Amino acid sequence: MAAFGTVFMPEMAISWFDGSGWSPSEMVSSNSLQLHPGAHVLHYSSTCFEGLKAFRHADGSINIFRMDKNLERFAQSSRLLSLPAINKDATQKMILDAVARFADDVPEPPGSMYIRPTHIGTEPAIGKAAAPTQTSCQYILLSPVGDYFSGGDTTLRLLLEENGMRCATHMGMIKSGGNYASALRPIMQAKQDLKADQVLFCPNGDVQETGAANFLLIDGDEIITKALDESFLHGVTRDSILTIARDMGMKVSERQLSVAELLERAAKPECEAALSGTAAVLTSVGTLLHKGNEYKVGNGGVGTTTLKLRQALNDIQWGKAEDTHGWLTRV
């Protein structure tokens, strides 16, 4: 299987904002995009994106998971970055049209079609460091994918980073390229120095999220994860897993979790930890690295509750369990 996100469908849906309105959506080649080298996005990072998935069911239908949530976040990111406002209905139609066009290419589970709506500032204006772009472009890329973390049964090694931050506090809930660039250096360093898979950012000891996923601690029948605030991304998978956990009768605690409490709980043999995200789904964390020490989470293996929650989520996505929350949109 090719690396996640490296194979693209040959066409994408695209629409341009000219300063007053959005052009009708078109399907165009996804191989290239013409931009002025002075485009606002290329200098001042006026860009946001989304990540969601379409799934093939046994009856042949194609179903998109929680599109409304992703559209809401896309609109919010655009607004908080002072990009032109998107029209959620028009963007939804772009997504549906693009997925319908390539419905035959949606892989069977555990694969899916990853959908990447993108919004960029296009105004050729290199003097606008402190002013918003007047024009922009939205496009919907499609990429058939398998598992993000190859080998679903392995567990991750996370470095607990208490000093650095993933991104500026007020940017955390915006899904914007600059945040990923900002997190890259500490992640590369942790990979190189400690063979860590990811960095779990814990500014001032407050357990937050990794570079591309939310963090969940599972202690017996309780899930503990940071309460929503503007400092980190409000993951759709996080919300889905917490909802499923509540449905299963688990206790969900959305609150501050300190590094000290995390390490104390992780030492219990039945404790589990996982990363949640559209790409990661729910992936077990086996080891925490902190101040030169290595700590196993529980027994260090893939947690049984983690597997149960992941399966319950997949069952809904794959059409094997009833979609009681109305999370799927049939294409």
Ligand X SMILES: Cc1ncc(COP(=O)(O)O)c(C=O)c1O
What is the binding site for ligand X (CB under 6 A)?
Answer: 51, 209, 212-214, 233, 235-238, 276-279
**Closest distance between ligand X and the C-beta of residue 53, in Å?**
9
**Closest distance between ligand X and the C-beta of residue 280, in Å?**
7
Half-sphere exposure of 214 toward its Cβ, with a 13 Å CA cutoff?
29
Nearer to ligand X, 186 or 235 (CB): 235
**Closest distance between ligand X and the C-beta of residue 310, in Å?**
13
**Closest distance between ligand X and the C-beta of residue 167, in Å?**
8
From the list 95, 73, 101, the residue with the least C-alpha distance to 15 is 95
**Cα distance between residue 103 and residue 100, in whole Å:** 5
Q: Which residues pair with 222 in a beta bridge?
A: 219, 251
Tokens of 287: 């080891």
Tokens of 228: 């929503």
**Closest distance between ligand X and the C-beta of residue 51, in Å?**
5
Nearer to ligand X, 45 or 134 (CB): 45
Q: What dihedral do alpha carbons 281, 285, 290, 295 form, nearest 10°? A: 170
Nearer to ligand X, 123 or 209 (CB): 209
Contact (Cβ atoms closer than 8 angstroms) between residue 277 and residue 310: no
Q: Which residues pair with 206 in a beta bridge?
A: 258
Nearer to ligand X, 43 or 79 (CB): 79
Phi/psi of residue 257, nearest 5 degrees = -130, 125
**Closest distance between ligand X and the C-beta of residue 253, in Å?**
19
Nearer to ligand X, 145 or 213 (CB): 213
Nearer to ligand X, 53 or 125 (CB): 53
**Cα distance between residue 72 and residue 89, in whole Å:** 11
